Amino acid sequence: MKQEGSLCAQHCLNNLLQGEYFSPVELSSIAHQLDEEERMRMAEGGVTSEDYRTFLQQPSGNMDDSGFFSIQVISNALKVWGLELILFNSPEYQRLRIDPINERSFICNYKEHWFTVRKLGKQWFNLNSLLTGPELISDTYLALFLAQLQQEGYSIFVVKGDLPDCEADQLLQMIRVQQMHRPKLIGEELAQLKEQRVQKTDLEHVLEVNDGTGMLDEDEEELQRALALSRQEIDMEDEEADLRRAIQLSMQGTSRNRCQDIPQTSGSHPTSEELRKRREAYFEKQQQQQQQPAPPGQLTHLCEKSSTSCEAPDRDLGDSMSEEDMLQAAVTMSLETVRSKTEGKK
């Protein structure tokens, strides 16, 4: 039977007897009966005495509104079943030197809490109503368990007498149980359940965040793809720039090669005398060709040859000189012609 409110004395008795033998009303009735007996004893000293008036003003020592009942209430309740309580560490009981495993049950009390330790079949169980279930206690551990309770401040009472028969005792006379996990305190179980709920809530929150993160991951992937494309475009632009620079350098190299292939004249500019002699030789050659008659069949050929010959010097001259040199040479030739005419007139 588990704890309900603060009625631990009721649970203690019913766990001891293994049945719903006592209710809070019945225990309250026993408590009121004890209070009345005490009042009558106090009244023997005089109802007008100071002790009596003080007793009447004090609350009951056998019960309170929280459901607590005193050892006197529990002891009187057990007398109905012919059971007696003896203090475990009293000199009278200690003189008996009885091994705890040879007893049948114990009732333990600390402050306002009561619980039962009982032998069912051939095994001992802690029937504390604050536990989630019975706790198995081995025979070798029983004496140590009771000693530990005493060190913690518990009062231990040995239950003397024959307990009523119960189904659990009969069943455990035939079989022995094994307990894999120790039962927890109800408070611990509630705390664990609360912690599990908190963990579940945290897990759900994490899953929600992960769902959001998944969306963020998709956005991040798109951003990564955009950055990759941007890097590819930058790489292509860099490659195009490199290609343009290579073409430019190639063109510069070709230009330099052409400049190197052009024959260089002995001087930077031909002299006017050289130009004059070249032009006179050209005109003399033209005059000689014109004075010689040519057959009709060769006229066209000579004209073509003459035309080619006329263009050749200029082309050779242009090939050997730059445009600036050609312009300067033409100016020089013009000046020489004017000078020659002037001298002829004189």
HSE-up of 321 (CA within 13 Å, CB side)?
19
Note if 166 is an active site residue: no
Side chain identity at residue 159, one-letter code = V
From 15, 109, 126, 128, active-site residue:
128
Note if 12 is an active site residue: no
Residue 146 CB contacts under 8 Å (≥ 6 apart), including other chains: 88, 100, 106, 117, 156
Q: Tokens in use for 294?
A: 């040519």
- The whole-angstrom distance between residue 312's C-alpha and the CA centroid of its chain comes to 89
- Other CB atoms within 10 Å distance of the CB of residue 113: 17
From 32, 113, 166, 269, active-site residue:
113
Note if 8 is an active site residue: yes
From 8, 14, 108, 109, active-site residue:
8
Give the C-alpha separation, 101 to 109, whole Å: 20
Give the C-alpha separation, 341 to 334, whole Å: 11
Nearest CA to 143 among 98, 209, 91, 205?
Answer: 98
- The whole-angstrom distance between residue 234's C-alpha and the CA centroid of its chain comes to 36
Q: Tokens in use for 345?
A: 């007139």
Quick check: 94 and 156 in contact, CB under 8 A?
no
* CA angle at 151 for the pair 145 and 157, rounded to the nearest 5°: 65
Q: Tokens in use for 218?
A: 């998709």
DSSP state string for 19-58: S----HHHHHHHHHHHHHHHHHHHHTT-TTSHHHHHHHHS
- Other CB atoms within 10 Å distance of the CB of residue 83: 22
List residues with catalytic annotation: 8, 113, 128
